[in-house]
Amino acid sequence: MNLAELNTIAQAMVTPGKGILAADESSGTIKKRFDAIGAASTADSRRDYRELLFRSLDAMSGRISGVILYDETIRQTARDSTPLVRLIEQTGSIPGIKVDKGTKPLPFCPGEVVTEGLDGLRERFVEYRGLGAKFAKWRAVIDIGPGIPTETCIACNAHALARYAALSQEEGIVPIVEPEVLMDGGHDIELCYEVTEWVLKTVFDELYRQRVTLEGMVLKPNMVVPGQQSPKRASVEEVAEKTVRVLKSCVPGAVPGIAFLSGGQSDVEATAHLDAINKIGGLPWKVTFSYGRALQAAPLTAWKGENTNVPAAQRAFSHRARMNGLATLGEWKKELETA
């Protein structure tokens, strides 16, 4: 493991003005997204859609520091036979790979899940490195509800995240550590704060125990927001203030960057929150985005699975990438959405 190299990649992933495109939907998830726009999900249609994103030159070269790919995508070639990984590299963006194998019910913890995928992971990292991956991603899912999360669930997921991160660094690949506290449910913002704090403290404790180098990783957390069904809504400023407070109390300054997930927020909401967080300023880490839905909702809707809609989809993607790029600098304004 070369620590300087890991740090250089991690710093590039969180370059100010840029952020990460999470295009790592598993086959089940991308099918749901395609169903919603009336497009068939086949290996070719998934390739066509991702190719249109990676060929959006303005967005990719100006605003997207890295792309998280799914196992199928990292092996695919564009229509003209160029490997998709090569297309990404040609724009100056960095290819990465999702390595977790999704969640399974956690025994004796009703309503809770644990992320799987550690078996054979060392060997898979070697292969992914050969395919061009410079960073990786593993997502743990923590739900809030009556009696949950349990300590068992948080500990098991934190342990797996740290095992993954250590194996990733051993192979010279920067781990994105993603402990997601879900927005589902009627809980208020205070409870989201408490659970996020508990999760982050446990995760960093495990990362320390398993000798993960903080300078060579990127954290991908949720923002502190009320549950989607909560009647008590929070202002953009409150979300930003609480998110910054919890991160400052849990995330060491040695971590180069924090790249948020959007978690079901609307795309403009996710941009406004990121912008407000960066407007607070004085943060010890770079703070950016690693959005899936909040970057792709607009291009998916514009595309609808039709070749003729590719330019419109690329414009929609470039717009969201630009808005979020500005938000990483605290320079976004609502008026720019319609300009």
273 lies in the binding site for ligand 5MM (CB under 6 A):
no
291 lies in the binding site for ligand 5MM (CB under 6 A):
yes
158 lies in the binding site for ligand 5MM (CB under 6 A):
no
Taking the C-alpha atoms of residue 333 and residue 194, their distance in angstroms, rounded to an integer, is 30
Q: What is the DSSP letter of 256?
A: -
CB 50 within 8 A of CB 39: no
Q: Of 31 and 82, which CB lies nearer to ligand 5MM in the complex structure?
A: 31
Q: Is the dihedral of CA 84, 89, 94, 99 positive or negative?
A: positive
What is the nearest approach in angstroms of ligand 5MM to the Cβ of residue 211?
A: 25
220 is known as an active-site residue? yes
Taking the C-alpha atoms of residue 319 and residue 72, their distance in angstroms, rounded to an integer, is 27
Catalytic one of 18, 137, 220, 242: 220
22 lies in the binding site for ligand 5MM (CB under 6 A):
yes
Specify the 3-state DSSP secondary structure of 172: coil
261 lies in the binding site for ligand 5MM (CB under 6 A):
yes
What is the nearest approach in angstroms of ligand 5MM to the Cβ of residue 180?
A: 6
Number of C-beta neighbours around residue 76 at 10 A: 17
292 lies in the binding site for ligand 5MM (CB under 6 A):
yes
Distances (CA, A) of 316 to 49, 78, 97, 178, 320: 13, 21, 24, 27, 6
Q: Of 82 and 103, which CB lies nearer to ligand 5MM in the complex structure?
A: 103
Out of 13, 18, 24, 149, name the contact with ligand 5MM by CB under 6 A: 24
Write out the binding residues for ligand 5MM, residues 31-90 only, by CB under 6 A: 68
Out of 8, 11, 15, 29, name the contact with ligand 5MM by CB under 6 A: 29
**Structure-token pair, residue 249:** 């109390």
As separate numbers, helices (DSSP H) first and strands (DSSP E) second, the chain gives 13, 10
Out of 25, 112, 206, 275, name the contact with ligand 5MM by CB under 6 A: 25
Tabulate helix, strand, coil % of the chain (nearest 5).
Answer: 50, 15, 35
In the numeric block, the tokens 């095992």 are attached to 163
262 lies in the binding site for ligand 5MM (CB under 6 A):
yes
What is the nearest approach in angstroms of ligand 5MM to the Cβ of residue 170?
A: 23
293 lies in the binding site for ligand 5MM (CB under 6 A):
yes
Taking the C-alpha atoms of residue 19 and residue 66, their distance in angstroms, rounded to an integer, is 7
Taking the C-alpha atoms of residue 71 and residue 234, their distance in angstroms, rounded to an integer, is 37
Out of 46, 139, 187, 273, name the contact with ligand 5MM by CB under 6 A: 139
Q: Which residue numbers are catalytic?
A: 220
Residues lying near ligand 5MM in the complex (CB under 6 A) are found at 22, 24-26, 29, 68, 102, 139, 180, 261-263, 291-294
